[in-house]
Amino acid sequence: MKFNQQPTLPQSPLPIVIIGAGGIVQDAHLPAYRISNFPVSGIYDIDVVRANRVQEQFPFIERVFSSMDDVIGYALNTNVVFDIAVPINNIWSILEQLPIGSAVLMQKPMGENMQEAERIIDICKRRQLTSAVNFQLRYAPYVLASRDIIEQGLLGDIFDVEINVCVYTPWQLWDFLLTKPRVEVLYHSIHYLDLIRSFLGTPKRVMASTIKHPRAMQLAATRSSIILDFDQNVQARIMTNHGHIYGPEHQESYMKIEGTKGAIKIKIGLSLDYPIGRPPKMEYIILEDGKGWREVPLIGGWFPHAFIGTMAGLQNHFLTKTTPLYHSTEEALKTMQLVEAVYRSSDETGIFF
């Protein structure tokens, strides 16, 4: 059986203006736009030399802007979609400068806390921005295929979701995290929380612990155990340990979805041997057909293919307002509320002996 793994692309995609030329833009955004033939009108970064190097690497970028004034001047005369990938402390001033009514895609997280997330929402509403957050895991090929399987009713009623990540993550690649009071949940497991919400909705109860690793004491917590209860039968669990230094033999990175009629198991290859990654793998089983576990041939993985979906979804909604925007800033705010609940549970609950 074949299952849909591709997002719906806009028939006439609007040109993209990228603000920020860091690693995520080079590793994921631009490769995704190249695959999907999305036009990129230009790129801007406060480090103009870096922006020029990125254009050399991706020559389909039409121009390098020398300042934000140049970006805004261009956008006032051209219908563009903004793709912003900058540190969160720079996002507010950029949003305030965008032309009223613009379409904008922002990197996650949506702020460091709820106050910052609500500030972003307020700016977007005041400036009438069509705004979305880049929760791209929702659009990974294996997630789209899983959603197709579930929507066809092949798994029956979903009652269990498990995500387990036991890997070695080189946190030193992101030196800005050294000063952050929150790391693992806000910058990593937020993707899983958002993904689970997209399948199961908002949980009724959250139980969580997020804790430091003895080999990464300079960082905030990098290990997490999260339990989400939805009703008496439905539960999701997220377990992460980013400090497994004992070789690849027993590293794990998977998502498992169980239903009354079948199940899905996905190897999330990106997390293994990061940043190189390994190929993802997806299998499913339908109890009633008696065929056992079968593999779904995948057309790509989290990076870069999932980044096609977030841009496509924003453009489709911007061009046709009746098209749902599943990763809107309003939707992202709900994920941020769940992140806050996780941290609050870790800080306040538990029985101490």
| Residue 176, domain CATH | 3.30.360.10
- Same domain for 77 and 95? yes
Q: Is residue 115 part of a domain?
A: yes
Domain that holds residue 145: 141-301
pLDDT in the model for residue 350: 87
Residue 194 lies in a domain: yes
pLDDT range class, residue 97, cuts 50, 70, 90:
very high
CA 272 to chain centre: 17
In terms of C-beta density within 10 A (0-12 exposed, 13-18 middle, 19 or more buried), how is residue 10 classed? buried
Q: What 3-state class would DSSP assign to 124?
A: helix
Say whether both 71 and 90 belong to one domain. Answer: yes
Mean pLDDT of 63-71: 97
* pLDDT over threshold 90, residue 91: yes
R_g (Cα) of the chain, nearest Å: 20
Q: Model confidence at 51, in pLDDT bands (50, 70, 90)?
A: very high
Based on the fold, state whether residues 289 and 222 are members of the same structural domain.
yes
> What is the pLDDT of the chain when averaged over all its residues?
96
The residue-averaged pLDDT of 141-149 equals 98
pLDDT tier for residue 352 given thresholds of 50, 70 and 90: confident
Residue at 334 is within a domain = no
pLDDT recorded at residue 21: 97
pLDDT at 306: 98
> Considering the domain boundaries, does residue 350 fall inside one?
no
172 within domain boundaries = yes
- Cβ contacts of 125 within 8 Å, gap of 6 or more: none
Alpha-carbon separation of residue 102 from 17, 68, 93, 126, 167 (angstroms): 11, 15, 15, 12, 40
Q: Percentage of the chain with pLDDT > 90? A: 95
DSSP 132: E
- Residue 47, SS3 per DSSP: coil
- The string of pLDDT tens digits covering residues 180-229 is 999 999 999 999 999 999 999 999 999 999 999 999 999 999 999 999 99
In the predicted model, what is the mean pLDDT of residues 271-275? Answer: 90
Residues 151 and 291 both lie in one domain: yes
Statement to judge: residues 101 and 245 lie in one domain:
no
Maximum C-alpha span of the chain? 65
Asked whether the predicted pLDDT for residue 161 surpasses 90, the reply is yes
- What is the count of structural domains for the chain? 2
pLDDT over threshold 90, residue 322: yes
Share of the chain above pLDDT 70, in %: 100
Question: Is residue 40 a contact partner of residue 51, using CB atoms and an 8 Å limit?
Answer: no
CA nearest 323: which of 145, 103, 157? 103
Same domain, 149 and 292: yes
Residue 330 located in a structural domain:
no
| Beta-bridge partners for 166 | 241, 252
Pair 186, 107 in one domain: no
**The pLDDT of residue 275:** 84
What's the CATH number where 315 sits? Answer: 3.40.50.720
Q: Let me know whether 316 and 291 are in one domain.
A: no
Cα separation, 163 vs 209, in Å, equals 15
Do 111 and 210 lie in one domain? The reply is: no
Do residues 98 and 39 share a domain?
A: yes
Domain-located, residue 249? yes
Give, for 223, the enclosing helix (H) or strand (E).
strand 223-229
> Is there a single domain that holds both residue 126 and residue 175?
no
Q: How does 286-310 read in b/e, with b if 16+ C-beta sit within 10 Å?
A: beeeeeeeeebebebbbbbbbbbbb
Which single residue is written with the structure tokens 């890997």? Answer: 167
Instruction: Please give the Cα distance from 149 to 143 (Å, whole number).
Output: 10
Instruction: Indicate whether 311 belongs to any domain.
Output: yes
- Output the pLDDT for position 299: 96
Residue 232 CB coordination number (10 Å): 8
Q: Are residues 156 and 296 in the same domain?
A: yes
